[in-house]
Amino acid sequence: MPKIISTKKMERQYRKRSVSGVRLFMCESVISTMAAHADIGFADEKEVMGLIIGTIYNDEEGEYSVADGTATTKLDSTNVSVRFDPDALEDLFLSIDENKSGDVVGWYHSHPGFGCYLSDTDVKTHSDIFGDGIGFSVVIDPSDETLMVFTVKDGVTQKVHMIVSEDS
């Protein structure tokens, strides 16, 4: 069980969102990067995964995220499972540090040929990382070029609407 260092909630920068009710804004380049990664895995008949990096803001509606980067490293994967290679975690942390934003706002992974949904393992993984917080899970099926965004609240998967924005 991880040790809780602090339960103090981090104060978020105030910035009014451009579209009311939307909790995730994602730069077009992030989607392209995730899709290209999923295509490479699909060609190798393997799942892929990575982290979504961005900034979490606050406004009158609560917290929302703007995703502007990804981070990944060497993976241990098959056609139905994926995880970060434990020996490459230092490279993952370096990849996170190289992004202009520093918040991990979500994670992505592929389901090549299986559709876009969160499996029971995905729900557990998401809940272990983000709890019922602001985190998002993007699932890509490169076999039919679909992408869906989810979050998990009280163990239940919820679809999330996302706005694709131009890179700044």
pLDDT tens, residue by residue, 85-98: 999 999 999 989 88
CB 75 within 8 A of CB 108: no
**Average pLDDT of the residues of the chain:** 91
pTM of the shown model: 0.90
Report yes or no on 140 lying in a domain: yes
Domain count, the chain: 1
Q: What is the Cα–Cα distance from 40 to 48, expressed in whole angstroms? A: 8
- Which 3 state secondary structure label does DSSP give 82? strand
Residue 20 phi/psi, 5-degree rounding, is -60, 140
Q: What average pLDDT does this structure show over 112-135? A: 91
Query: Given a cut of 70, is residue 112 above it in pLDDT?
Result: yes
Q: What average pLDDT does this structure show over 149-166? A: 92
Place of tokens 């995880």: 83
Report yes or no on 72 lying in a domain: yes
At 98 the pLDDT is 86
Report yes or no on 13 lying in a domain: no
Q: What count of Cα atoms within 13 Å lies in the side-chain half-sphere of residue 22?
A: 17
* Residue 72 DSSP symbol: -
Query: Given a cut of 80, is residue 8 above it in pLDDT?
Result: no
At 1 the pLDDT is 43
At 160 the pLDDT is 94
Q: What average pLDDT does this structure show over 52-65? A: 95
Question: What are the Cα distances from residue 164, in Å, to 24, 30, 136?
Answer: 9, 9, 15
User: What tokens does 56 get?
Assistant: 């979490």
Report yes or no on 16 lying in a domain: no
Report yes or no on 14 lying in a domain: no
Report yes or no on 9 lying in a domain: no
At 9 the pLDDT is 62
Q: What count of other Cβ atoms lies within 10 Å of the Cβ of residue 87?
A: 10
Report yes or no on 5 lying in a domain: no
Domain range for 119: 22-165
Report yes or no on 94 lying in a domain: yes
Query: Given a cut of 80, is residue 6 above it in pLDDT?
Result: no
Q: What is the Cα–Cα distance from 168 to 27, expressed in whole angstroms? A: 8
Q: What is the CATH number of the domain that holds 121?
A: 3.40.140.10
Q: Lowest-pLDDT range, 23-32, 111-120, 128-137?
A: 128-137
User: What tokens does 159 get?
Assistant: 């679809």
Place of tokens 């992505």: 108
Query: Given a cut of 50, is residue 18 above it in pLDDT?
Result: yes
Q: Lowest-pLDDT range, 29-38, 98-107, 133-142?
A: 98-107
At 168 the pLDDT is 59
The one-letter amino acid code at 94 reads L
On the 0-12 / 13-18 / 19+ scale of CB atoms within 10 A, 11 is exposed
CB 112 within 8 A of CB 143: yes
Q: What average pLDDT does this structure show over 133-159? A: 93
